[in-house]
Amino acid sequence: MNVGTHSAGPRTAAAAIAALTLAGLLGACSSGDSGSSGSSGSTDAGAGSGGVVKLEFWGWAPGYEQSVALFNQSHPGIQVTFAKTASGAKGGYTKMLTAAKAGNAPCLAQVGYETLPSFAAAGALTDIAKYTAETKPQFADWTWKQVTIAGQTYGIPVDTAPMALIYRKDLFAKYGITAPPVTWEEYAADAAKVHAADPNVYLGNFGNDAYNYAGLAWQAGANWFGTSGEQWQVTLDSPANQKVAGYWQALLDQKLLKTDPSFEAAHFGDLTNGTVLSDVNAVWATPIIASSVKEGAGQWAVAPMPVWDAAKPVYGNDGGSATAVLKGCGHAKEAAEFATWMSTDAASVGNLVKVTGIYPAATSGLSHPALAQPDPFYGGQTVFDVFKAETAHINTDWQWGPTMTQTATDLGDGLGRAGTGGTTLPGVLAAVRTKTVAGMKQQGLSVSGG
């Protein structure tokens, strides 16, 4: 597969099917126009004295508030208030959808690419395509497709999320690992080596983060969704997915991985005390680890994610968000202006790189000086160099399905049970596929197979 180009066919076709099937819902997504003084029930204020447009923005990422402040300083005619919510998976998305349904949603919201199709299917978004014709060329094709469904554009891309191996150099050396593993075969061998030397120590952790696992599948070309004719296909348990599941299941069966819940205190504690030596995670996890792990500053480093074939390296992507415009926004033009500015303005991008740990989606951001800064926690390494090199080898044909909120919840639960031995990963994938198909059919979507 040529990972340097993007084939628009599967994603565009799938999005079109979703839009056509839910035409009534999606038609509501295009409501709102900058010419109005505010939409009924919207939490965003109309233009007050002096013509100031006031917009509200919900999100959870660190650094967003600082970018909002920078915008407000330079745009006296548009003022944005940032309200911090729980992360999407921990209630933020539910709050946004509830507000959109009630007619009192903010104009702007942080929404992951994986969840945007679900918001579209729920009729919770506003089409800003007519305000973004000049914006589109500022982004790589595949990132723009993450915010566009059936010709309607629902937000502006903020970042991508290439994955890497984040590890302790000194502890690797202690256990005889002279270089970070290049392939997954080497990773398994190193995991066995470390655990044989000390049964209480593990090379890595297998958590319950569905989107981290998606990045592993993404890397392997193990797509979860596709289309055939006018039907969705759900391929969570395809042979390619079974290959990925079988690899990790073998490591779990051999007790070679720790199984802490992702991003919780136990996981960070194990990274701190040397029980777990590395983490396969996205670019945005590098500042989280730096702020959450209290030991080994200067000894941590970032290496490319292990690959299946060293001669033809392909890497995974775990995340990426858009600044979406929600249903009922009475100032869609101004909302689009802010969202574009946040992703492309040099000062904003510099802030988001430093504080949020993003890898910019805007092509102009890829040469930002902030990406060239050495990181003391990572021994003075310029960590973004690793992600920059990987980006050209990310499979950009991956597409998300229209019910990812449910799929991710079911998969996360299954990953947690597999980690404790309550089930197996191949079984989890089959069960999640069955539930996903049922959920899609409940929404009126046409799905092949059962």
pLDDT in tens, 170-217: 999 999 999 999 999 999 999 999 999 999 999 999 999 999 999 999
Residue 44 pLDDT: 56
Has residue 216 been placed in a domain? yes
Terminal-to-terminal C-alpha distance of the chain: 28
pLDDT in tens, 84-141: 999 998 899 999 999 999 999 999 999 999 999 999 989 999 999 999 999 999 999 9
CATH value at residue 214 = 3.40.190.10
358 and 417 belong to one structural domain? no
Length of the chain: 450
24 and 146 belong to one structural domain? yes
417 and 305 belong to one structural domain? yes
267 and 132 belong to one structural domain? no
Check if the beta carbon of residue 329 is closer than 8 Å to that of residue 109. Answer: no
186 and 174 belong to one structural domain? yes
Residue 247 pLDDT: 98
412 and 333 belong to one structural domain? no
Quote the CA–CA distance of 242 and 236 in Å, as a whole number.
9
37 and 112 belong to one structural domain? yes
Q: Model pTM?
A: 0.87
145 and 60 belong to one structural domain? yes
Check if the beta carbon of residue 29 is closer than 8 Å to that of residue 123. Answer: yes
Structural domain total, the chain: 2
Phi and psi dihedrals of 116, rounded to 5?
-55, -45
Q: Look at the alpha carbons of 178, 179, 181, 185 in this order and tell me if their dihedral is positive or negative.
A: negative
Has residue 254 been placed in a domain? yes
Has residue 448 been placed in a domain? no
Residue 264 pLDDT: 93
- For 357, the token pair is 């740990």
3-state secondary structure of 322: strand
Has residue 387 been placed in a domain? no
Q: Which residue has the tokens 């595949």?
A: 142
Has residue 63 been placed in a domain? yes
Has residue 389 been placed in a domain? no
DSSP states of 36-91 as a string? SS--TT-SS----GGG-EEEEEEE--TTHHHHHHHHHHH-TTEEEEEEE---GGGT
Q: Which residues of the chain have pLDDT under 50?
A: 1-41, 49
Last residue of a domain, one of 334, 354, 371: 371
Has residue 38 been placed in a domain? yes
Quote the CA–CA distance of 96 and 329 in Å, as a whole number.
13
288 and 424 belong to one structural domain? yes
DSSP states of 365-376 as a string? GGG-GGGG--BG
Domain of residue 146: give its range. 9-160+319-371
Check if the beta carbon of residue 413 is closer than 8 Å to that of residue 374. Answer: no
256 and 285 belong to one structural domain? yes
116 and 195 belong to one structural domain? no
Helices and strands of the chain, counted as H and E runs: 17, 16
Residue 361 pLDDT: 97
Has residue 450 been placed in a domain? no
32 and 73 belong to one structural domain? yes
Beta bridge mates, 324: 109, 155
Residue 33 pLDDT: 37
